[in-house]
Amino acid sequence: MYSEVHYIDPCPKHGGVAFGPVEVKRDKDGWWIHPGIPDFGGTEDPAPFKVWAAEQGLELKTSDMDGDLLHHPYWNGEAHCNGWDPQSPGPEWFLMGIFDTEDGPHVQWARREVKP
């Protein structure tokens, strides 16, 4: 399968559909996960996700909300990240998710690894 830039391998869940950017519709609390990311059985172990991302040829970049917003209701016990609008690291990056962690809200971006 061919994308505009690189040859890619589609994820098993989507067969012939290439994994890439999709429309982002955050939930009422501001969270969002790319619908093409496989279910890894609810494990919090990041290893299966990292293996899958590598198989997809993705480079990942993660940052947290406290790097952007030091004063947000989340830090006072609210369970949302509304008002946080993380900016893409560049035009070739697409959103993988905005999610809560034990260290607070995080955003993850992906782009195709450029291989010579």
* Section 87-92 average pLDDT: 94
Beta bridge partners of 59: 111
**Per-domain residue ranges of the chain:** 12-112
CB 104 within 8 A of CB 83: no
For 13-54, what is each residue's pLDDT tens digit?
545 556 899 999 999 999 999 999 998 888 888 899 999 999
DSSP percent split of the chain into helix, strand, coil, nearest 5: 15, 20, 65
Q: Looking at the chain, how many residues does it have?
A: 116
Lowest-confidence range among 14-18, 35-39, 71-75, 98-102?
14-18
pLDDT-derived band at 87, boundaries 50, 70, 90 = very high
* Confidence at residue 110, expressed as pLDDT on a 0 to 100 scale: 97
When pLDDT is averaged across residues 89-107 and rounded to a whole number, the result is 94
Predicted confidence (pLDDT) at residue 8 exceeds the cutoff of 80: no
pTM for this prediction: 0.79
SS3 96: strand
Q: How far apart are CA 30 and CA 104, in angstroms?
A: 13
How many C-beta atoms lie closer than 10 Å to residue 98's C-beta?
22
- Please give the Cα distance from 66 to 107 (Å, whole number): 11
